[in-house]
Amino acid sequence: MEQTGYVVSVSGGAARVRVDRESACGGNCVSCKGCPSNAVIVDVANNLDLRRGDVVTLYEDTKKVLGYAAIGYGLMAVLLVAGAVLGFMIFRRDFMALVGAAVALLVGFLTVKLFFRNAGAEFKVTEIKSRTGADTTEN
């Protein structure tokens, strides 16, 4: 999976890169009257002598990203159904099926949150698309 990012700071052997997440309309915000931009800041190794202002291409293993998505969404779906079924089987009430599903989703959310805390993204800079020429490293 490749993304384009903008180097916002450089310090020692690391750089901070802002990645603008693409909107649901594929970046064609004129068609949907504008979308809020959700930027994510990631830390990367500075192996290519990055400078503040550089536009870079970042790479993350696609299998890893899809695996995390499958775990996150798949676990939530399984827990939602299991919680609803267990809630109904134990209490024989539709409302308790809803409560069971909600509790299971809460447990799933906390589980995923704990799992992903230590599973940080490992972006690698593969190329510098454009260089500003300003060498403003921060130490």
Task: Record the tokens describing residue 107, joined without a space.
Answer: 């447990």
Residue 4's pLDDT is what? Answer: 86
Distance CA 101, CA 82 (A): 7
Q: What CATH number belongs to 1-28+35-60+123-139?
A: 2.40.50.140
Question: Domain residue spans in the chain?
Answer: 1-28+35-60+123-139, 61-120
Successive 10-residue mean pLDDT values, the chain, 139 residues? 86 86 61 66 85 87 81 90 96 95 94 73 77 56
Distance CA 75, CA 99 (A): 18
Task: Record the tokens describing residue 94, joined without a space.
Answer: 């539709």
Calculate the average pLDDT of the chain. 81
